[in-house]
Structure 1
Amino acid sequence: MNDTPHAFDVCVLGSFMKDLVAQAPRRPQPGETLRGSGFREFLGGKGVNQAVAAARAGARTAMIGRLGTDRHGDEFAEMLAAEKIDTSQVQRDPTAGTGVGLPVVEPGGGNSIIIVPRANDAVSPADIDAAATLISSSKVLLVQLELPFETVLAALHTARSHGVTTILNPAPYLPLPADIAEFVDVIIPNEVEAEQLTGLRCDDDKAEQIARLLADSLARQAAVVTLGSRGAVLASGGATSFIAPYAVEAVDSTGAGDAFCGALAARLAAGDSLWQAATFASAAGALATTKHGAVPAMPYAHEIRRA
C-alpha cells in the first residue's frame, strides 16, 4: 500500500474541452444542413468533468493536463480555482489551443460529440515524470483515454509503483494491451465501450457476463459497466451486483458517465466499498442528466446523498 502522506484523495489525469453545444431535433445526415434549436458554451472534457465531479463529491482533488493560452484556457483556470482543484501540474501551452468539443444534443438528452484535442495531445510521459510526487501522494488515480495512450500508461505505471488505487474509464474506446490489468484496479466502461472491449452485445441478459469478463481480463479488482437509465453492473471477486438506476427527468446526458466516475473515485478514496461507491456514483450520474452541459451538471455531495 501507499505509505506516503496523502496530499490528495483523487488525482485526475485528463482532458480539457470547451464544449460548443448545439441542440437539434436529430443528428444531421451526410451533406445535410439542419436548423438547430439552441446553442450554449460549457467547460468540459472527460478529465475536467471527472475532476469537478470528484471535488464536488467531497474529495481533495488535483488534476494533470494541458491548456492553451487562449481565452478558453483562462476560463478553465478560473473555474478550477473556484472548485478548489489543485492545478500545480496543469501546464499552459503557448503553441496549441485549448481542446474543443462539439456535441449535438437531441430531445430527451441523447448526444453525439466530435472532439478536437489540440493542447491535450501534447500531454506527454515527461509530464507524468514531473507529476510523480503528486500521483504518489494521492489515494486514487483516475484516467480516461482522451489523452495520448502512452501518457495514460505512464501514469498508471507510476501509480502502481506507489500503491495508488487506479481507475480507468476507457473512453473514447481504444484497443487495450493484454497486460493492462496489471496496472488497473477498477475499469468503468459504458455499455458501448463494454461491447467494443468484449465483442459481446451489452443487453440485459449479457451485462453481468460482460462485467465479469472485463473484471477478469482488464482489472485487478473490479469492473463497473454503466448502462445509462438501466443502472450499472458491478463485477468483483467472481460475483456480480446490479446497481439500480435512479429515476430522473433527463435533459442532457453529456456528463453523466463522468459524474459517475468522479463520484466513485471520491467514495473509494473515502474508504467506501466498491458497491457503496458505485451506488453513490449511480445517483451522481443520474443527477448530472438533469442539467445542461458537463461541468455545470456535476452534482454536489449533499444533492447525491439526498437522491
Structure 2
Amino acid sequence: MEFRLIDRIHARTAQVREDVRLGIGDDAALLAVPAGQELAVAIDTLVEGVHFPHGTAPADIGWKALAVNLSDLAAMGATPAWALLALTLPELPAAAQAARVDGLADGFAQLAQAYGVALVGGDTTRGPFTLSVAVHGFVPPGQALRRDGARAGDLVFVTGTLGDAAAGLQRLAPSTDPDEEKRRGFLRARLNRPQPRVAAGLSLRGRASACIDVSDGLLADLGHLCTASAVGAEIEVERLPLSSALLGSCDEAAAHDYALAGGDDYELCFTVPPALAGEVQADLARLGCGATRIGRIVEAPGVRVCGTEGEWLTPARRGWDHFADDAAR
C-alpha cells in the first residue's frame, strides 16, 4: 500500500530539473547545488485541526503545505528548487485513501509547477493526518534576506493585505446572501491557497534591511524581526492594508484585530531605508502584490501600535503561539 501511494504521488508531481541527479525511488535524492549559490532550506509541518480545518479539500491542503514553505524561501530572497514531503495518513478505505492522496498531490503539483519545484523524495506513514514539507532554494552568497538587519529609521512595509485568512477561518460556512458569500469565498481562498511572495522576495535582495513572512500574525512576526535586529517598531493601525472583502465582512475593530494578530497571511513584512522606499514600492506594485508602509523602526524594544486618534493601543492578542493556543488556526 505504501509504495502504491508513493507511486500515485510521484505520477502527479513529476517535474524535470537538470540539477536533480536522482529523485524519488531510491534511499536518498542526489541533487546538484549550482556553483556560486548558497542553499536555503526550510521545513514546516501542517496538522489537521491545527493548521487546516477538518474537511478542507485535499487539493487545498496539498497547495498550502507547499505554499507555507515557499513563503519561507521568499522571506530569505531564495529561488525555490526542490521539496521533500512526509505524509502521515489515518486509516481509511482504500478508495477514500487514494482519492485523498490524489487530491493532495494535485494541489501540491499545481503550485510546484508554477515555481519549477521538483518533489525529490519523502515518506509515508500511518497516524493522525499530518504533512511535513521541506523546501530547498538558491541564493547568491551574501544576498539572503535576514531578520537581523533592521535599523532605527528604517520604514516597515508589508505586501498584499492582512487578516483575510484569519477572517476566512471564522467564515467557513456558506452564506445565503450572495454578496456576503462572495466575500467569504475570497477570504476562504486566502486561507486555503496562500500566494507565496517569491518574486517580491527576489526583488528585495540588496534593498530590504530585514524581512520575515507573516505566518503567526503581524505583531508576533514583526516582533521576531525586531528581536533579531535589537530594535523596536511603531506601526499605525490606519495604515494596515485591508481587503474590501474583510472590511465588508466585519467591523473596523475586528478587521484590525485580524490584521494585527490573525496569522496565516504569508505576506512579507520587511524594512527598508527611507531612500529606497519609493523604488521598492514601485517595483512591488509592478509585480502585482504591492507594498504598504505601515510604520517605522525605532530604538526602543517592542512593537507598539498607534490608534486612529494617536493613542497607543493594547491589542487583546499578538498572534499565534503553537504551544499556548488550542483552537485550529
TM-score for the superposition, normalised by structure 2: 0.29
Bigger radius of gyration among the two: 2
TM-score for the superposition, normalised by structure 1: 0.31
Bigger relative contact order, structure 1 or 2 (CA pairs below 8 A, ≥6 apart):
2
